[in-house]
């Protein structure tokens, strides 16, 4: 695999998702090395990104999650360094990382997403907080709009829980996103490629204990069930894939990504929750599971993503 040159796998970093990133990056690094790629680990928390150029890296696999990895900042630095990287570019990464901005874009394009309210720093008084359930109903979801992996998220079932949920989310973000809770089936759908050639992979249906798909169940528990094939009807599967591709293209994503969705139990309607532009690649991660169902093994997937590494400026 010498044609890919010297490759840095960015992992670790400084976000709240550092632990998950190290797991993802280690998996990717071992997979690339197993097929002969000249790949090396690189932790931006320990080394400056300028060293990538000095060390002769020709391509970067971004296995960072969260801030300073998935939010356009690292992508911007790599643009300046002129080193092609995996995944979405600066703008798509920045917008997708911010769930409020993502929802605004999707709503402008007529794509379905749960109703929501944003609480800015000056709007977290008791008077403001108590009005949220009146508008969105109960239960509802409270989360920081610029974190991933279910960090800082709460499901609020009563007015008395609102303050604690907002306080928790505010530990991770200046703004707090309050979102209508969709009762139903949790789904996720990965995408490979860019533009018109982007391809939606098989949908995964997630069955977490008591519907509690939190950080622990995402990465460390074997209690969560991941069904791929999803068991959905062919029509519903196709609709999930159609919405995912529309959401991905609307945000300007490239390379790869993964949409999280809900299918409401009461009427079967599908809602987009968020778009992940640097999805997990751990042993519990969903893109490798879906790719496997499509006949793409883990090392092959890593190489395919690396081959699509690009710069915004060269598109």
**Is residue 159 among the annotated active site residues?**
no
The catalytic residue among 70, 79, 239, 260 is 260
Q: Residue with structure tokens 């499901």?
A: 155
Q: How far apart are CA 114 and CA 55, in angstroms?
A: 46
* CA–CA distances in Å: residue 196 to residues 239, 246, 268: 17, 10, 28
The catalytic residue among 24, 154, 276, 278 is 276
Specify the CATH class of 95-113+183-312 in words.
alpha beta
- Structure token pair of residue 29: 């690094």
**Is residue 280 among the annotated active site residues?**
yes
The catalytic residue among 21, 255, 258, 278 is 258
| pLDDT value, residue 116 | 97
**Is residue 212 among the annotated active site residues?**
no
For the stretch 123-156, what's the b/e string if a residue is b when 16 or more beta carbons lie within 10 angstroms of its beta carbon?
bbeeeebeebbeebebebbbbbbbbbbbbbbbbb
Q: Show me where the domains of the chain are located.
A: 2-86, 95-113+183-312, 116-180
Q: Does residue 139 have a cis peptide bond before it, meaning omega lies within 30 degrees of 0?
A: yes
* CA–CA distances in Å: residue 300 to residues 154, 164, 284, 291, 305: 37, 44, 18, 10, 9
- Structure token pair of residue 60: 């970067």
CATH fourth-level superfamily of 116-180: ATP-grasp fold, A domain (3.30.1490.20)
The catalytic residue among 274, 285, 290, 312 is 274
The CATH number of the structural domain formed by 2-86 is 3.40.50.20
**Is residue 17 among the annotated active site residues?**
yes
CB atoms closer than 10 angstroms to residue 307: 14
Whether residue 256 contacts residue 286, with contact meaning beta carbons closer than 8 Å, is answered with: no
Q: Would you write out the chain's pLDDT as a tens digit for each of its 315 residues?
A: 669 999 999 999 998 889 999 999 999 999 999 999 999 999 999 999 999 999 999 999 999 998 899 999 999 999 999 999 999 999 999 999 999 999 999 999 999 999 999 999 888 888 889 999 999 999 999 999 988 767 899 999 999 999 999 999 999 998 999 999 999 999 999 999 999 999 999 999 999 776 554 545 454 556 789 999 999 999 999 999 999 999 999 999 999 999 999 999 999 999 999 999 999 998 789 999 999 999 999 999 999 999 999 999 765
pTM, full prediction: 0.93
**Is residue 258 among the annotated active site residues?**
yes
The catalytic residue among 79, 194, 280, 290 is 280
């Amino acid at each position: 695999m010498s044609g890919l040159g010297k490759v840095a796998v960015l992992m670790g970093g400084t976000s709240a998702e550092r632990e998950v990133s190290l797991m993802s990056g280690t998996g990717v690094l071992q997979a690339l090395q197993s097929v002969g790629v000249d790949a090396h680990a690189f932790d931006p928390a320990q080394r400056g990104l300028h060293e990538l150029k000095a060390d002769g890296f020709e391509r970067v696999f971004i296995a960072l999650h969260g801030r300073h990895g998935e939010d356009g900042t690292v992508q911007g630095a790599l643009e300046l360094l002129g080193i092609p990287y995996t995944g979405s570019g600066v703008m798509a990464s920045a917008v997708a990382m911010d769930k409020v901005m993502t929802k605004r874009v999707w709503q402008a394009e007529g794509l379905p997403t749960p109703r929501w309210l944003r609480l800015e720093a000056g709007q977290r008084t008791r008077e403001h907080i108590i009005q949220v359930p009146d508008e969105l109903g109960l239960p509802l979801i409270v989360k920081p709009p610029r974190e991933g992996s279910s960090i800082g998220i709460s499901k609020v079932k009563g007015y008395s829980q609102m303050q604690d949920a907002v306080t928790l989310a505010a530990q991770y973000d200046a703004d707090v996103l309050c979102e209508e809770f969709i009762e139903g089936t949790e789904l996720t759908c990965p995408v490979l490629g860019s533009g018109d050639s982007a391809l939606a992979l098989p949908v995964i249906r997630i069955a977490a204990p008591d519907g509690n798909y939190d950080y622990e169940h995402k990465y460390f528990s074997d209690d969560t069930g991941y069904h791929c094939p999803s068991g959905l009807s062919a029509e519903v599967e196709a609709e999930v894939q159609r919405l995912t591709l529309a959401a991905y293209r609307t945000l300007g994503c490239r390379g790869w990504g993964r949409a999280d969705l809900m299918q409401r139990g009461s009427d079967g309607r599908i809602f987009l929750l968020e778009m992940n532009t640097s999805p997990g690649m751990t042993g519990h991660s969903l893109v490798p599971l879906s790719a496997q169902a499509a006949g793409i093994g883990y090392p092959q997937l890593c190489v395919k993503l690396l081959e699509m590494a690009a710069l915004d400026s060269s598109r």
